[in-house]
Amino acid sequence: MESPKDYCSANTRVFWDVDDFPIPENGDLCAFRSKVRRALEMEGYYGSHLTIFAYVSDEKAMVDEERRQFAMAEIPLMCVNVEKRSRLSKMILEMLAWAFQNPNPNKAILLIVAKDIPEGDTEFGRVLGILAERGYHVFCTVPDDFPQGQLPPAGPRKDNCHQLVLQS
């Protein structure tokens, strides 16, 4: 894997499951974007092109102000079936398509803000692991207020995800 300095002009894509990690209480998605960028910079990744895609189960249930916040922060809403497995499947397909569009792993970073289905048989962790093995820098991002007891253990994980904490 390359060092962080090699990623300074990388494309960074965030895959955010809003049902797993809801919109920040203050609703300021521009601040959320800044948190993501700051977390990357703390890891030594500067100047990358950052895009965030938000996966929601029911866009119609969102109030107009929430939709406006996403639009102002330039975060597209990806509406997917209510079922968690459907959201994960869509995210997997879009991760693979994005990796295909960004074939140079030295120029690509994936940030995942989502939970797998712990007792479910999904391909989520395996796909993240394959992308990491091919040289893509994969981060599993968790908010700083996420309960410590639910954080994955540090060190190598089955999906080769590096943990990245979003701090206030």
Instruction: Phi first, then psi: give them for residue 67, nearest 5 degrees.
Output: -60, -40
Residue 13 — very low, low, confident or very high, per pLDDT cuts 50/70/90? very high
Residue 18 has pLDDT above 60, yes or no: yes
**Domain boundaries, position 68:** 4-166
Q: What CATH number is given to the structural domain containing 106?
A: 3.40.50
Long-range contacts of 138-141 (CB under 8 A, 24+ apart): 138/109, 138/110, 138/112, 138/162, 139/43, 139/109, 139/110, 139/111, 139/112, 139/163, 139/164, 140/112, 140/164, 141/14, 141/36, 141/39, 141/111, 141/112, 141/113, 141/165, 141/166
70 vs 165 pLDDT, higher one:
70
Look at residue 68 in the predicted model and tell me its pLDDT: 86
Q: Is 60's pLDDT higher than 60?
A: yes
pTM exceeding the 0.85 threshold for the entire prediction: no
What is the predicted pLDDT for the residue at 157?
A: 45
Tens-place pLDDT, residues 95-139:
999 999 999 888 888 888 888 776 667 788 888 888 988 988 888
Please give the average per-residue pLDDT across 43-48, as a whole number.
75
Tell me the average pLDDT across 44-63. 80
Domain tally, the chain: 1
Q: What is the structure's pLDDT at 158?
A: 45
Query: Quick one: average pLDDT of 133-156?
Result: 65
160: left (phi over 0), alpha (psi -120 to 50) or beta: left
State residue 22's pLDDT score.
Answer: 84
Answer with the residue of higher pLDDT: 3 or 117.
Answer: 117
> Looking at residue 154, what is its pLDDT?
42
Q: Is residue 142 over pLDDT 70?
A: no
Task: Give the mean pLDDT of the chain.
Answer: 78
pLDDT of residue 85: 83
